[in-house]
Chains A and B, each alone.
Chain A
Amino acid sequence: MKSRIREALYIGLFDALPLLRDPMLLVVISLFSFLPVIFIFVFADAASAMQSLIGAIVLTFSFTGLFASQSVYFNKQWFRFQDMLVASKVSPASYAVGLSVSGLVVALPGVLVALALLLLSGPSTAIGIVLLLATSLLLWIGLVFVGFAIGATTKNARRANSIPQVLSIAMGFLPPVYYPLSRLPAIAQPFAMLIPTTHAAQLAKYYFGLIQLPASELVIGWAYLLGFAALMGFLASRRAHWVDP
């Protein structure tokens, strides 16, 4: 078990190393999800800025999950490191975990800065932070599976870059993650609830006391995120292969 964790750690570090070796790029990437917060902070009230900060943390996790697709694609089809690692004692689970956490390693500085800002900007409870991280991690797991399914299916570098970017707009910037669900017209709100990032953001905002939700919506939110992760896990297991069929 210890050796498997070590393998995963080094695979993750190796995958993240190009960014870790370039601090300027690291700053840009780790703070990418937080840029809209600055505009909301300048042009809206403090409560909206808090909502957007929580939304940014949720999205940082979801983007790193989605962009696992690039790691999967490039390691398999471009560098062909996956083939080299299959022919070694490295386990497929270590490889999958390693590629998944490499994005988190890169995003960690931004998340830590955001959490520090949250703690400084108002009353935050430890349980609020734990539940915010729990919803974000559950969403991240589901989107890592999406990333693996995309990365394993994509056959060219152009698509490997464009598909996660299009999905990040559709799942990050359009739905009510940075802004409150109530700002959407009533007719659009049920459609927004089809997107997993909306559920994660709603839960996280609730646990920080920024919005009120009935108990039934809390249950639906968690069930949706769990179901999404399970479904995407099944999809990824059908698409991503360690040994080609």
Chain B
Amino acid sequence: MSEHVRTTTADAAAVPHAPLRAGEALLRVEGLVKHFPLTQGIVFKKTIGQVRAVDGVNFTLNAGETLGLVGESGCGKSTVSKLLMSLERPTAGSVFYKGTDITNLKGRELRRLRRNIQIIFQDPYSSLNPRMTVGDIVSEPWDIHPDVVAPKDRGRRTRELLERVGLNPDFVNRYPHQFSGGQRQRIGIARALALQPEIIICDEPVSALDVSVQAQVVNLLAELQQDFGLAYIFIAHDLSVVRHISNRVAVMYLGSIVEIGSEDDIYEKTAHPYTQALLSAVPVLDPAVRAHKKRIMLTGDVPSPANPPSGCRFRTRCWKAQDVCAEKAPELVDRGQGHPVACHFAEAVQVVEALDVVDEPLPATEPGLSAPGSRRIGSAPADRSEA
């Protein structure tokens, strides 16, 4: 398998990515805003309000790192991913790729940019065209970017990609319905890799998968990141998976980031009340850890993004809320916790005690399961049981 890896990196060098200036982040998002108009009427549409899906989001993504983006449904995390892909136009704000503003790119330039930023969708069932064979799906990006792979090499490269994501390369002529959910997600990953991107946006890539299959896909993503030096924006609502895969984590609530920091900052020195509540709500398997977990039960529901509360957006559900919260929206700055928090009363708390597990097999695990996993993930047995 390592042979293919080498070939691919060699190919990648043939199509050089623009160099990254020192001190410049791979991706920088500044004041990103997306409002969707609420309209009334059928023929004569009248705007009666705005859904503030994303309302002032700033973050950076460095080369080769994983930024986790967590939040509950409706917090705007998927809208952010669409804005980054230029699938939606922002109402305000900019996205910089290697220092260049890419917000308003069009035509050929946009197409060239998209080669470097790819996306993996949540639902592997609806994101693959049921009438196309796997080979056609994976090689379709080369129809749009013919210079990446020469036509005569396409067949070979498709098979390499399939093998790299743990699928049998002899399946190129099969259709998506002949695969299981986990295998379909691998096809989506192969398609995202086809153009040798630098950034892959993973929008809930494992939420739709079976528990026992999720880990296979998470491990595959981690391996690919190492092999190709990919940067991920990993969007998920599952805080456990995000902790597992991310270097840094941003927590979103009602269209803005409330807390951002390293994985340790967010999970061990949790400073925003919303992040604390979110972490406290995650069920814990280990009874010993559960006994020490702080219990914070939020009341009520997330307010409508069409009519967000004044000041701090979380104040309507926050147990720390005071008058100042209604008057003044807290800025996302470091308030002495070592990482930026948007709360007037930020205070670092350890909600869940972490067990520091070293990178060796869990005590109760089979040697076979923990062995150099890359060889086993979705290899022959997976394909046999499905096909």
A binds B: no
| Residues of A near any B CB (own CB < 8 A) | none
